[in-house]
Amino acid sequence: MKKTVKLLTAVIAVMMIVSCMVSAGKYDNVFDNLTLSEFALYEQGTLDAVQMRAFAVDPNGKYYYGGLLNGGTPTVYQFDAKNGSEVCTYTFDDDAGSYIKAIATDDRGYVYMGIANAANNGTIYFAICEENGLKQVKYVQIDIEGKIGVNGACIRRDGDQYYLYFVTNYDTDRLYCYNVTDVNNPVINTAFGNDGVNKGIGYLDLNSPLFGMSDANNIAVDDMGYLYICANTGNGSKGDTVFKVDAAGTGVVGSVSVAECFGVTAFNGYIAVCTYEGADSKVHIIDSSSLAIVKSVGYDNANNFCQLGLIGTKLYMADQGPDAVLVSSDIIFPVEEAPAETTTPVESGDTPTEAPAETTAPTTAPTTADTGIVAASVLLLAATAVVLKKKH
């Protein structure tokens, strides 16, 4: 009996070790000493408006952008990322009193704004501007019946193609995808989307049973095309769950509970999620494969964290309240050298053999349950069963 107990104890210990090994991210330790500090403070009267809700960073590292909700015209501010000073502004003049609540950028020098009309009824827009001077190139109007707003936006580059994703909310909760490769002629991407009945409709019906979200907030997309959506399913004021959706927009492949999740960005195998919960607002670093939280960090003077992005080695983030932009300590990933290629010489008269065909990875990403843990557990339990059977 004692030997059996010892064996079971050993099995459980090994399972716990395997679980920790499999769920750990490759670079989790780079976040061990992560901290937040104030980079720029925009006191009331500094800008024409207050309450910085929309936020995005320039992928080339020169600027960050803020969209403010109240006290002025619908304006996006471009700030110098070196010192936080105002560079220029963009004002949407086609619907006075509207709200710019989502901003995205691309590496070509274009800035995209998601805009809700003043009445939050019947119409939303997105505008495309040049980075230099924020000169408007194009805007698109989308008519949707009922109360309608717009929240997060992000851009994905796939080869030479560029895709804009943005979220609507209130009565109609959708995530749209537009091909914006030609900024003068944005077209809805009909290869994307699923409303539970039809595939390839250009958007996700987030409130359908297939996705189970409502009032989605900010969104991010990684290099593989996976989308990360901060959404409310009824257990929070602003948000309660971060969902991971496959690149084709056909279904949820994983999720993680994060109280009052609101902003999200993706980088180097991780996502950073910020929360809109007053003085308790936090940034959570999450492994994008396992969706395990590997680090959480707060800030002594937090108000409400809205959205964030990576410039170089630092996260920059909008803190709405007394409006501020916060910056993280350096996040430095180790540089890994690619292994040198080895070539087997072919002697004269030999016929080279063909390399084995590559196997194709499954298109469905792993969910939060880690298959490695399950496999290890099965093997260990099977071994235990064999031992116990022999003993009896």
**CA-based nearest residue to 166, from 137, 196, 129, 124:** 124
pLDDT band at 95 (very low <50, low <70, confident <90, very high): confident
Contact 50, 35 (CB under 8 A): no
pLDDT band for position 38 (cuts 50, 70, 90):
very high
pLDDT in tens, 361-380: 333 333 343 434 334 443 33
Domain boundaries, the chain: 36-328
The model's pLDDT over 279-336, given as tens digits with 9 standing for 90+, comes to 999 999 999 999 999 999 999 999 999 999 999 999 999 999 999 999 999 999 998 7
Higher pLDDT, 94 or 372: 94
Tell me the C-alpha distance between 117 and 74, whole Å. Answer: 10
CA atoms within 13 A on the CB side of 102: 33
Q: What is the dihedral of CA 143, 147, 151, 153, to 10 degrees?
A: -20
Euclidean distance between CA atoms 118 and 68, whole angstroms:
14
Mean pLDDT of the chain: 84
Measured in residues, the chain has a length of 392
What residue has token string 């910085």?
52
Q: Is 58 exposed, middle or buried (0-12, 13-18, 19+ CB in 10 A)?
A: buried
CA distance 347 to 295: 54
Chain center to CA of 6: 45
pLDDT digits (tens, 9 = 90+) for 42-52: 998 899 889 99
Architecture of the domain made up of 36-328: 7 Propeller (2.130)
**Phi, psi of 300, deg, nearest 5:** -60, -35
pLDDT per residue over 52-77, tens digit each? 999 999 999 999 999 998 877 788 99
CB atoms within 10 A of CB 193: 22
Instruction: Work out the angle at residue 99's Cα, subtended by the Cα atoms of residues 98 and 100, and round it to the nearest 5 degrees.
Output: 125
Confidence of residue 5 (pLDDT cuts 50, 70, 90): very low
Tokens, residue 6: 């010892």
* Sign of the Cα pseudo-torsion (180, 182, 185, 187, in order): negative
pLDDT for 71: 77
Please report, for residues 111, 165, 168, 224, 262, the alpha-carbon distance to residue 203 in angstroms, rounded to integers and kept in the order given: 21, 9, 10, 18, 21
pLDDT of residue 341: 62
The answer, yes or no, to whether residue 11 has pLDDT greater than 50, is no
Q: Is the pTM of this model over 0.85?
A: no
Crossing angle (nearest 10°) for helices 2-23 and 371-391: 170
In sequence order, what are the beta bridge partners of 324?
41, 319
Phi, psi angles (nearest 5°) of residue 369: -75, 125
The whole-number average pLDDT for the span 7-11 is 41
pLDDT of residue 340: 63
Residue 171 and residue 179 in contact, taking contact as beta carbons nearer than 8 Å: no
pLDDT digit string (tens) for 115-150?
A: 998 888 999 999 999 999 999 999 999 999 999 999
If pLDDT is split at 50, 70 and 90, which confidence band does 196 have? confident
In percent, how much of the chain has pLDDT > 90?
70
pLDDT at residue 354 tops 80: no
Segment among 22-36, 124-138, 249-263, 268-282 with least mean pLDDT = 22-36
